[in-house]
Every structure is written in structure tokens, then in C-alpha cells.
């Protein structure tokens, strides 16, 4: 990135749970922000999310009414990467589905339109950033910037150093994370980094306990929330993350780190049924259109 004193121009690819949050905080931090998704529906939902989030900030007195439109004006959407990637882009952050092949395709296509100074980051939860970087013309500019859900609220950004990543890229990513209001940590490119590895293991154990009949989902979540003082229980967190996303992470960690990450049958069955969590209206728990829980789990 060599944008000098102006905030960087950021392209976010993938407008789902994570991408829409990353794009919003970039626009809120003053960046010219462009959000790309293959799905019009997802882009529309992403803009609705931004409107809702900002209206809520106004309601809570955290932002003036006049402070909304400038943020929205900095947030453009498109279904075509070629329309938004040009020489003015300083950083691309990829947040498409957790699939190595899709990520490699998206990253190489994005890099083709970038100037040499631009940073290319992936928000992968657990895939190898080194493998993703290996497909790029300039792998030294590639790294992981792992944000957390919900993006505007959770302050950590795990910066993942691939084997090929340059120190300069790490410094630039750290500066960007700080501009976006995040606390940055740097981790090596090992499966699951620091956070996904711990969180996936806890979530998987909670599913095992559910299968063994140790306690109800609500009581397992209470044990962790009330007893261990986590802000959320592992099963409600799985619903928030997306059970499909979590399943892909577990499969990758099982293949690389061992059997303790093997996903449970219950988890697989929920995903097979399309019950992928809060975004689908049903996961371990059921949700209304606003994402509030509507009933006890079955
Ligand atoms: P999601 O399923 O909500 O969104 C993925 C989006 O990518 C969809 O809108 C889809 O239309 C779009 N997409 C798919 N292929 C595309 C392509 N070729 N070009 C442009 N857009 C494309 O997934 P989510 O949860 O946002 O996850 C995205 C990434 O972030 C994954 O790598 C995941 O592991 C990671 N992540 C997810 C977290 C979570 O809590 N959900 C937390 C941290 C990282």
C-alpha cells in the first residue's frame, strides 16, 4: 500500500456474514470501499445491513444523522470484480466461501488488475494462506487478515504470515487493522491459527456432549457462558459463525491436525438439512428474521 496520507482504497470480495462487516468498518474508517459478490441478493442484504447498523448507531447516540450518508457514499457494490479493481486499489480482502480452490481463483483474478503496491489479504478461518499465496504473481504481498464475527464489534484481527509474506506487507496490514479500529496480533500460517483452532475444538466438544446427552444445548451454552465467563456459549457461537463455515474448518483441521477435530454426525446432519445457523433462521437453535432466538432447541 502506498496511498500516502489518504485512507486506503479497499476492495472486499464476498458480501456474506464477514465481507459485509469488513466493508462496513472500512467505509466507517474513511476508506473508499468496494464490495464484490457473485450474488445480487447478498449485495442487497449487505447494504441493508449497513443501513441498519448505522441507523442503530444514530439511535444510540454514537453517530449523528449527518454522519450516515458519507459512510454509505463510500460503500459501492458490484457483481463484477473487473468493475471495481483498478490501479487505485490499495488492498483486497477476500471473504468468499471457505474453499481453497474458490479462494485461489478469486485471489488470482483480483491480483491481475492490481498495481504492484497493493496488498492481497484473505479472511480464511483455517485454510493455508501459504497455499493461497503460492498462486499469486507476487506472493510476498499476500497474507491473512482474519476478522471476527460480528466484525464491527469484535476487536481482534489475526494477521497471518504465510511463508512468502514480506515484513513490509505485515507492517502495512497492521496499520490497516489499526485504522479499522482492530487490535492486531501476528501468527504463523499453521492450521487454525491461534483462534479458529481453539474455538473449533470447543464447539466440536459441545456437539459431542449434545450427542452423549450430557445436557441440553441451552445448558451446555450456559455452562460456558455463565461458568467460564465466555460472552457466548459454543453452540450459539456455532450458529452465529455458520455451521457450514464451522464444518469446513473442522474438516480441514481434522485432516491436518488430527481426529480430535472430526465433526460430529449431528453437526453434519444440520448442515445437510440447510440448517446452517442464524443466517438460515435455524441451526442448533431457531431464529426470527431479526436473528433473535425464537424457541428452545429440539
Ligand atoms: P458466507 O457464506 O456468509 O459468505 C460468502 C460469500 O461469498 C457469499 O455471499 C457468496 O455469494 C460469496 N461468493 C462465493 N463465491 C464467490 C466468488 N467467486 N466471487 C465473489 N463472491 C463469492 O461466508 P462467511 O461466513 O462470510 O465466511 C467467509 C470467509 O470468512 C470464509 O473463509 C470463512 O471461513 C471466514 N470467516 C468466517 C467467520 C464467521 O464467523 N462466519 C469468522 C472469520 C472468518
C-alpha separations of 112 from 63, 70, 107, 109, 215 in Å: 38, 30, 9, 5, 52
Calculate mean pLDDT across residues 139-156. 96
| Cα(183) to centroid(ligand 1), Å | 22
pLDDT of residue 6: 87
Nearest CA to ligand 1 atom 17: 38
Question: Residue whose CA is closest, atom 38 of ligand 1?
Answer: 241
At 4, is the pLDDT very low, low, confident or very high (cuts 50, 70, 90)? low
Q: Give, using CA atoms, the residue closest to atom 40 of ligand 1.
A: 241
Mean pLDDT of 2-16: 87
Residue 148's φ and ψ, nearest 5 degrees, are -125, 155
Confidence of residue 3 (pLDDT cuts 50, 70, 90): low
Q: What spacing in Å lies between the alpha carbon of 40 and ligand 1's midpoint?
A: 14
Q: Please write the tens of the pLDDT for every residue from 203-261.
A: 999 999 999 999 999 999 999 999 999 999 999 999 999 999 999 999 999 999 999 99
Q: Look at residue 296 in the predicted model and tell me its pLDDT.
A: 58
Contact, 136 vs 256, CB < 8 A? no
Residue 110 backbone dihedrals phi, psi, to 5 degrees: -65, -45
Closest-lying ligand 1 atom to the alpha carbon of residue 122? 32
pLDDT at position 298 over 80: no
- Pocket of ligand 1 from Cβ distances under 6 Å: 13-19, 36-39, 42, 95-98, 102, 106, 123-125, 146, 148-149, 241-242, 245
| CA-proximal residue: ligand 1, atom 34 (nearest) | 125
The CA 73 to ligand 1 mean position distance, Å, reads 24
- Given the CA of residue 98, which atom of ligand 1 is nearest to it? 32
pLDDT at 297: 53
Q: What is the pLDDT of residues 182-207, one digit of tens each?
A: 999 999 999 889 898 999 999 999 99
Distance (Å) from CA 242 to ligand 1 centroid: 10
**CB-CB contact of 143 with 169 (8 Å):** yes
Q: How many A from CA of 124 to the centre of ligand 1?
A: 9
Full-model pTM: 0.88
- Please say whether the dihedral angle defined by the alpha carbons of residues 193, 196, 199 and 203, taken in this order, is positive or negative: negative
CB 75 within 8 A of CB 54: no
Digit-coded pLDDT (tens) for 151-164: 999 999 999 999 99
Amino acid at each position: 500500500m502506498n496511498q500516502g496520507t489518504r485512507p486506503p482504497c479497499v476492495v472486499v470480495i464476498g458480501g456474506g456474514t464477514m465481507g459485509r462487516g469488513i466493508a462496513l468498518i472500512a467505509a466507517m474508517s474513511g476508506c473508499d470501499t468496494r464490495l464484490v459478490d457473485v450474488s445480487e441478493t447478498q449485495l442487497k442484504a449487505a447494504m441493508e445491513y449497513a443501513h441498519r447498523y448505522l441507523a442503530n448507531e444514530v439511535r444510540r447516540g454514537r453517530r449523528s444523522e449527518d454522519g450516515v450518508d458519507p459512510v454509505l457514499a463510500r460503500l459501492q457494490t458490484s457483481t463484477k470484480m473487473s468493475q471495481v479493481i483498478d490501479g487505485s486499489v490499495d488492498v483486497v480482502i477476500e471473504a468468499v466461501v471457505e474453499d481453497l480452490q474458490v479462494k485461489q481463483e478469486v485471489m488470482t483474478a483480483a491480483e491481475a488488475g492490481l498495481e504492484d503496491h497493493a496488498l492481497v489479504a484473505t479472511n480464511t478461518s483455517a485454510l493455508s494462506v501459504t497455499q493461497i499465496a503460492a498462486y499469486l504473481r507476487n506472493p510476498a504481498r499476500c497474507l491473512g487478515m482474519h476478522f471476527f464475527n460480528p466484525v464491527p464489534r469484535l476487536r481482534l484481527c489475526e494477521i497471518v504470515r504465510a511463508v512468502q509474506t514480506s515484513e513490509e506487507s505485515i507492517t502495512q496490514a497492521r496499520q490497516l487493522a489499526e485504522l479499522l479500529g482492530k487490535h492486531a496480533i501476528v501468527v504463523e500460517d499453521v492450521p487454525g491459527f491461534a483462534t479458529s483452532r481453539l474455538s473449533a475444538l470447543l464447539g466440536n466438544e459441545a456437539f459431542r456432549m449434545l450427542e452423549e446427552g450430557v445436557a441440553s444445548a441451552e445448558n451446555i451454552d450456559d455452562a460456558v457462558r455463565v461458568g467460564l465467563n465466555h460472552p457466548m456459549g459454543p453452540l450459539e457461537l456455532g450458529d452465529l459463525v455458520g455451521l457450514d463455515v464451522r464444518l469446513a474448518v473442522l474438516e480441514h483441521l481434522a485432516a491436518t491436525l488430527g481426529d480430535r477435530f472430526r465433526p460430529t454426525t449431528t453437526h453434519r446432519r444440520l448442515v445437510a438439512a440447510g440448517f446452517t445457523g442464524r443466517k438460515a433462521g435455524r441451526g442448533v437453535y431457531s431464529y426470527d428474521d431479526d436473528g433473535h432466538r425464537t424457541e428452545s432447541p429440539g
